[in-house]
């Protein structure tokens, strides 16, 4: 794997390190230890961070960009099984190999920690262990959302659900990363990756989005960015029931009613 730039110590790129979600809100000593252990790495879109069944020497968080997790099927086909966005953790502690391939879906900046060193900190700081537990719960929620996407019967349902999930996730993104300001939603991956993730084709996605635009559910700003015009209708198109819901509630509550 080839990094897009050389490694940076936290002191050399402090603004990026401060955005690492795992460091935020930690006690001063743990924060210092994480800064000492952490390194910033940058990868170009398409580069492999960790291969499937390869040794994973580090763990970390996404500070900007998007990672895709892929599994290779017996016939050689690759299936996208998840997307990691800013504030998400990647890598497995207490496990030497990765069960998925982790690749850069876009140009990415990662805050990385030596797995061995990180495991030592986990044993010394309960707050870090608690943060890891929350991260695993987030990962479980993401897996549930992905299963929800797969369970949607139509392409339109899948796209509507995907847009709602992106809108929820955007609240955690740093300013220079994915943007979702007001009702504007940016899809951070290519149409090809989106089609693979949603189990459909690029052409079907384009037709469904054009149909939503014709019915004033959303407007197309550019191929990757949309403005939601009718939130209630978008939720209905996702297959969720909005009869007794306020549209201002977090989308995760909407999805959990499925």
What pLDDT score does 1 carry? 41
Residue of 81, 88, 188, 184 lying closest to 139 (CA atoms)? 88
DSSP code of 52? T
- List the structure tokens of 75: 């016939």
Looking at the predicted structure, is the pLDDT value of residue 151 above 80? no
Q: Which of 2-6, 74-78, 193-197 comes out lowest in average pLDDT?
A: 2-6
CATH number of the 152-255 domain: 1.10.10.10
CATH number of the 10-135 domain: 2.60.120.10
* pTM beyond cutoff 0.85: no
Block residue for tokens 């939603």: 185
Looking at the predicted structure, is the pLDDT value of residue 215 above 90? yes
What pLDDT score does 28 carry? 85
Residue of 181, 129, 39, 22 lying closest to 86 (CA atoms)? 22
Long-range contacts of 221-230 (CB under 8 A, 24+ apart): 221/184, 223/191, 224/186, 224/187, 224/188, 225/184, 225/185, 225/186, 225/187, 226/163, 226/184, 226/185, 226/187, 227/183, 227/184, 227/185, 228/163, 228/167, 228/183, 228/184, 228/185, 229/183
Q: What percent of the chain has pLDDT over 70?
A: 79
Domain with CATH 1.10.10.10 in the chain: 152-255
Say what the alpha-carbon torsion angle 141, 232, 234, 170 is, to the nearest 10 degrees.
-50
Looking at the predicted structure, is the pLDDT value of residue 181 above 60? no
Looking at the predicted structure, is the pLDDT value of residue 67 above 80? yes
User: Residue 232: in which H helix or E strand, if any?
Assistant: helix 231-237
Q: Mean pLDDT, to the nearest integer, of 62-72? A: 90
Looking at the predicted structure, is the pLDDT value of residue 227 above 80? yes
Q: Are strands 89-90 and 67-72 parallel, antiparallel or unpaired?
A: unpaired
- List the structure tokens of 147: 């299963």
**Residues 103 and 85: beta-carbon distance below 8 Å:** no
Q: Which of 38-47, 114-123, 148-157 comes out lowest in average pLDDT?
A: 148-157
Q: Mean pLDDT, to the nearest integer, of 241-247? A: 48
Higher-pLDDT residue of 160 and 82 is: 160
DSSP code of 5? S
- Going from the C-alpha of 93 to that of each of 72, 78, 98, 114, the distances in angstroms are 22, 25, 10, 10
In the predicted model, what is the mean pLDDT of the chain? 79
pLDDT band at 197 (very low <50, low <70, confident <90, very high): confident
Higher-pLDDT residue of 252 and 92 is: 92
- List the structure tokens of 241: 């029931």
Q: Which of 20-24, 107-111, 207-211 comes out lowest in average pLDDT?
A: 20-24
pLDDT band at 183 (very low <50, low <70, confident <90, very high): confident
pLDDT band at 41 (very low <50, low <70, confident <90, very high): very high
Q: Mean pLDDT, to the nearest integer, of 221-237? A: 91
Question: What is the rounded distance in angstroms from the CA atom of residue 89 to the CA atom of residue 121?
Answer: 16
Q: Mean pLDDT, to the nearest integer, of 137-146? A: 76
Looking at the predicted structure, is the pLDDT value of residue 179 above 50? no
Domain with CATH 2.60.120.10 in the chain: 10-135
- List the structure tokens of 197: 């993730």
Higher-pLDDT residue of 18 and 98 is: 98
- List the structure tokens of 33: 């230890």
Q: Mean pLDDT, to the nearest integer, of 26-54? A: 90
Q: Mean pLDDT, to the nearest integer, of 59-69? A: 91
pLDDT band at 2 (very low <50, low <70, confident <90, very high): very low
């Amino acid at each position: 794997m080839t990094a897009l730039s050389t490694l940076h110590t936290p002191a050399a790129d402090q603004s990026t390190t401060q955005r690492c979600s795992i460091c935020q809100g930690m006690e001063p000593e743990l924060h210092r230890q994480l800064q000492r252990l952490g390194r910033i790495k940058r990868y170009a879109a398409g580069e492999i961070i960790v291969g499937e069944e390869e040794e994973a020497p580090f763990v970390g968080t996404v500070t900007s960009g998007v990672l895709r997790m892929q599994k290779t099927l017996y016939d050689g086909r690759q299936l996208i099984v998840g997307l990691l966005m800013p504030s998400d953790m990647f890598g497995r502690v207490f496990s030497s190999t990765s069960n998925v391939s982790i690749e850069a879906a876009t140009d990415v900046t990662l805050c990385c920690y030596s797995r061995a060193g990180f495991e030592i900190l986990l044993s010394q700081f309960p707050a870090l262990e608690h943060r890891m537990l929350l991260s695993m719960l987030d990962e479980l929620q993401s897996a549930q959302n992905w299963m929800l996407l797969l369970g949607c019967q139509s392409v339109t349902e899948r796209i509507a659900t995907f847009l709602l999930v992106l809108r929820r996730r955007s609240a955690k993104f740093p300013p220079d990363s994915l943007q979702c300001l007001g009702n504007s939603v940016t899809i951070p991956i290519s149409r090809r990756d989106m089609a693979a993730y949603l189990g459909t084709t690029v052409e079907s996605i384009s037709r469904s989005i054009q149909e939503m635009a014709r019915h004033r559910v959303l407007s197309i700003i550019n191929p990757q960015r949309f403005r939601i015009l009718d939130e209630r209708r978008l939720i209905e198109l996702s297959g969720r029931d909005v009869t007794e819901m306020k549209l201002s509630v977090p989308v995760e509550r909407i999805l959990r009613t499925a």
